[in-house]
Amino acid sequence: MLKRLIYALCLFALLSPALSAQTGRIWIEPDTTYFPRDTFLTFTVKCDAGLVDFKGIHFDLDMNGSGIVIAPADDPADTTVQPGNMFVDNDTMTFFWNTFWTDSTRLTADIFVLTDSQTVSGPGDLLVIRMNTVRFGASDVTIAGLKIRDRFNQEIPVTAEDAWIRVCQFVGDVNADNRILIDDLTYLVAWLWKDGPDPIPLAAGDLDCSGDLNVADITTLVAYLFLGGTICDACL
């Protein structure tokens, strides 16, 4: 009986570090974003309290090239990829991200804490990204590569099941000039009654998301432009 007790205690001692270890979770907020073409998208990569004592982290964020493409803004000051609030008080943190061009589909970002004795733990914001978009449609942005290291350069386990965001353009930019203005109203009126050119793409003219393009879409666009109305948020 005593031998069994000793064996059980030894087994518990061996397993207790593994039992007490936590697996951190990383996700992106918000998980779906709708916006007109003339605004920017901002999203945050976050982690929970399970991510403990890490020194370095590497991200690969992939954009679905078949939909819209996330790209730097015309003004570099408007394009930011910044460390989150977990690193605000760390004066020995180094950070860099690889710039990508309009047709690129991957952004990489790396954060390292240089002081040997200092580490970072969740919960908090790891990365805040504010970017522009081009083209009409929808795109999934996912964390395709993720490596997190402790002060001994050992990989820290982490899950990233919710590490994605779907970026969707609002309908309404029927002339595809990256703005929703009175020109779009004129364009849509011309298409409905004067044999004008089709909206680009055709679904951009379905402002009430009814599945049809008709006078109700004109009414919706007028209300949006002049009366504070809203456009439907279909993710095309």
Whether the pLDDT of residue 66 is over 60: the answer is no
Q: Do the Cβ atoms of 48 and 15 come closer than 8 Å?
A: no
Whether the pLDDT of residue 189 is over 50: the answer is yes
Q: Where in the chain is the domain with CATH 2.60.40.680?
A: 22-169
How does DSSP assign 107-142, residue by residue?
A: EEEEEEE-STT--B-SSEEEEEEEEEEESSSEEEEE
Domain 171-236 has CATH 1.10.1330.10: yes
User: In this predicted structure, what is the pLDDT of residue 78?
Assistant: 55
Region 80-94: mean pLDDT is 83
Using DSSP's 3-state secondary structure scheme, residue 68 falls into coil
pLDDT, the chain, mean: 78
Q: Do the Cβ atoms of 28 and 45 come closer than 8 Å?
A: yes
Class of CATH domain 22-169: mainly beta
Q: Do the Cβ atoms of 22 and 157 come closer than 8 Å?
A: no
For the stretch 38-65, pLDDT in tens is 567 788 999 999 999 999 999 888 877 5
Task: Residue 131: name the closest of 43, 62, 59, 46 by CA.
Answer: 43
Q: Where in the chain is the domain with CATH 1.10.1330.10?
A: 171-236
- Residues 192, 194, 197, 199, Cα dihedral to 10°: -20
What pTM did the predictor assign?
0.67
Q: Of the given ranges (67-81, 176-190, 206-220), which has the lowest mean pLDDT?
A: 67-81
User: In this predicted structure, what is the pLDDT of residue 15?
Assistant: 43
